[in-house]
Amino acid sequence: MATGDIIVFMDADGQHKPEDIPLLLEKFNEGYDMVVGARQSGSHAGTHRAVANDLFSRFASWMVMQTVEDLTSGFRVVRADKFRKFMYLLPNGFSYPTTITMSFFRAGYSVGYVPIHTPRRIGKSHIRPLRDGVRFLLIIIKVGTLYSPQKLFLPISAGFFLTGLGYYLLTYLSSGRFTNMSALLFISAIITFLIGIVSEQVSALHYKDIDASHDEEH
């Protein structure tokens, strides 16, 4: 419903301090398309949540080949027109920061970070580490496959192939035969690799209009 060119997102549980908004805007005015408040060590959060967020951020950094300092922070400033391009990708729940961060990197939009410290939240968290951790991981994989499918499919394919090769050598040296399990693993490696190639083409088509508009801007 916002009508401005710039949108500020904040959580409603008191963790994000309004006085930090000028810091985000200052960084944003350097020319970024989105600036995120990255929670620093010492911010109020359970140890398990801090560890999980660090793991997710590292995985996302590997997917996009850029540093993602805080993948799940809901405190951010964005350009409204660019944010709305990804509305159709956003989930209905609280995990929109994960999706929009990955999408911005995929589209080649600039993302900056400002260190923040968050005080104790008001009320209880509705996040469940196991259930929502799996959900976060699935979202990263979903957007990651749109970003760079081979980053996911190639290692899986290589895993099948190397396992099949190792199993074949084991059975050949021990009993002098090639087993059905080795054949299944080799076939799985080929199929996974081909799915990755097809996914790369789908990804290119999916982001075609966004990539074209990004090129025009530059």
Query: What CATH code is carried by the domain that includes residue 66?
Result: 3.90.550.10
Kindly tell me the burial class for residue 42, based on how many C-beta atoms sit within 10 Å of its own C-beta (0-12, 13-18, 19 or more): exposed
User: Is residue 196 domain-shared with residue 162, that is, in the same domain?
Assistant: yes
Amino acid at 98: T
Residue 75 has pLDDT above 70, yes or no: yes
Number of structural domains the chain divides into: 2
Which of 67, 91, 126 terminates a domain? The answer is 126
More confident residue, 85 or 163: 163
User: Is residue 41 domain-shared with residue 96, that is, in the same domain?
Assistant: yes
Task: Tell me which DSSP letter residue 109 carries.
Answer: -
In a domain, 1, yes or no: no
User: Is residue 212 domain-shared with residue 117, that is, in the same domain?
Assistant: no
**Domain of 45?**
6-126
Taking the mean position of all CA atoms in its chain, how far away is CA 185?
29
Taking the mean position of all CA atoms in its chain, how far away is CA 210?
18
Residue 73 has pLDDT above 90, yes or no: no
Closest CA to 28 of 79, 101, 68: 79
Model pLDDT for residues 129-167, shown as the tens digit of each residue: 556 667 667 766 776 676 678 888 899 999 999 999 999
C-alpha triplet 210, 77, 105: angle, nearest 5°: 35
Is the entire prediction scored with pTM above 0.75?
A: no
Closest CA to 135 of 51, 200, 56, 62: 56
In a domain, 185, yes or no: yes
Which of 75, 92, 126 terminates a domain? The answer is 126
Q: Is 38 helix (H, G, I), strand (E, B) or coil?
A: strand
User: Is residue 15 domain-shared with residue 119, that is, in the same domain?
Assistant: yes
What mean pLDDT comes out for the span 58-62? 78
Percentage with pLDDT > 90 across the chain = 29
Q: Which pLDDT band holds residue 112 (cuts at 50, 70, 90)? A: very high
User: Is residue 93 domain-shared with residue 57, that is, in the same domain?
Assistant: yes
Q: Phi-psi bin for 176: left (phi > 0), alpha (psi -120 to 50), beta?
A: left
Q: Could you count the other beta carbons within 10 Å of the beta carbon of residue 135? A: 17
User: Is residue 108 domain-shared with residue 172, that is, in the same domain?
Assistant: no
In a domain, 33, yes or no: yes
User: Is residue 154 domain-shared with residue 122, that is, in the same domain?
Assistant: no
User: Is residue 67 domain-shared with residue 168, that is, in the same domain?
Assistant: no
User: Is residue 117 domain-shared with residue 12, that is, in the same domain?
Assistant: yes
Q: Which of 46-50, 156-160, 204-208 has the lowest mean pLDDT?
A: 46-50
Amino acid at 6: I
User: Is residue 28 domain-shared with residue 100, that is, in the same domain?
Assistant: yes
Percentage with pLDDT > 70 across the chain = 76
In a domain, 134, yes or no: no
User: Is residue 36 domain-shared with residue 119, that is, in the same domain?
Assistant: yes
User: Is residue 190 domain-shared with residue 106, that is, in the same domain?
Assistant: no
In a domain, 132, yes or no: no
Q: What is the model's pLDDT at position 26?
A: 94
In a domain, 131, yes or no: no
In a domain, 170, yes or no: yes
Residue 31 has pLDDT above 90, yes or no: yes
